[in-house]
Amino acid sequence: MSSSGRIVLDTFDSTVLANNAMGDPARRIVPVYLPPGYDENPSQHYPVVYLLAGFNGRGTTFLNDTVWDENIAQRMDRLIAGGTVRPFIVVMPDCLTRLGGSQYINSPATGRYEDHLVDELVPYIDRSYRTLARREYRAVAGKSSGGYGALMLAMRHPDIFALTASHSGDLYFELCYKPAFVTCARSIGRLGGLDRLMRDLHTHRPRDAAYRAVVNTLAMASCYSPDPALPHGFALPFDPHTAEINDAVWAQWLRHDPVHLVDEYLEALASLRLIYLDAGTQDEFNLQFGARIFRDRLARHGIAVVHQEFDDSHLNIPYRFDTSFAAISQAMSE
């Protein structure tokens, strides 16, 4: 049996993403990792982990070859060979938008990315590959925006996913997004205004910290506060001239914050076989605090969470997949 898995670059033509408001493509490249032995054992079926990329990333991001780290195939081969995880399939969706991300939810300003994943991609993977097509063998995991998406998908679709892992996922919007609004208001004017930014989004230079903060906020607004009546299809949660918070729009954002959705999805959360959370203690977006708050709110309802913190920041932490994949593997075997 081969000691290495292989990557299939699958092509998926989405019906629900066709003609989306941002004009993003409906055809998506979806990398699929098949574990060692997949080709030699045609009768064996495998669990599946859906691995969601962070903001400004897509599935192929996990295949990058770097000097300092492993790509997903190398990581999985090592973890399986060492007995840390059981062999499983890893599916890496592409939910990238023109603004940098969909947060893996439906929005009229971006597209039906939640429907794409749940109603299109999961059934397609189960038809096309030898999966154990049951919730207890299907996990969703990710980092940053991908971690947010992993939590939201598991909360909203516990019939599809029984396990979820969020690395530095977007939680408690009051701390992870709101502190950047003043910087954004200051920068929007300096960068030429919202109309110019939207027009020249991909050609603007330099792409400094101010530019990145503004684009991230615009992307989140397209997901959390869509408004088809407005020129760009979404509303900002603050006045770009005065930085005054728009309470009505901010309330729309909070309706997408997992921390504020615990009571609404309590039964679904209690049904999950694994909820894994971690964040670095130096996270630049304060996400360690959101993870603590989310953990504590679940604990008050007697819902178990695997929660870890580590001495690092928000970036360059793919090594943390070693820990979450091991937790997923163990929970699938119990």
Inter-helix orientation angle 209-224/181-190, to 10° = 110
DSSP character at residue 128: H
Q: Phi/psi at 22 (nearest 5 deg)?
A: -90, -5
Average pLDDT of the chain to the nearest whole number: 96
The predicted structure's pLDDT at residue 65: 86
Residue 245 has which token pair?
A: 């918070």
pLDDT tens digits for range 267-320 = 999 999 999 999 999 999 999 999 999 999 999 999 999 999 999 999 999 999
Q: Which of 5, 27, 7 is nearest to 16 (CA)?
A: 27
pLDDT tens digits for range 10-69 = 999 999 999 999 999 999 999 999 999 999 999 999 999 999 999 999 999 999 988 889
- Whole-model pTM: value is 0.97
- What is 6-172+258-333's CATH superfamily? Alpha/Beta hydrolase fold, catalytic domain (3.40.50.1820)
Inter-helix orientation angle 247-254/209-224, to 10° = 80
CA–chain centroid gap for 283, Å, is 17
Contact 56, 100 (CB under 8 A): yes
Q: Where in the chain is the domain with CATH 3.40.50.1820?
A: 6-172+258-333
Q: Which amino acid is at 325?
A: F
The mean pLDDT value for 69-98 works out to 97
pLDDT tens digits for range 220-237 = 999 999 999 999 999 999
Query: Where does the pLDDT of residue 194 fall: very low under 50, low under 70, confident under 90, or very high at 90 and above?
Result: confident
The predicted structure's pLDDT at residue 1: 61
Please tell me whether residue 315 adopts helix, strand or coil conformation: coil
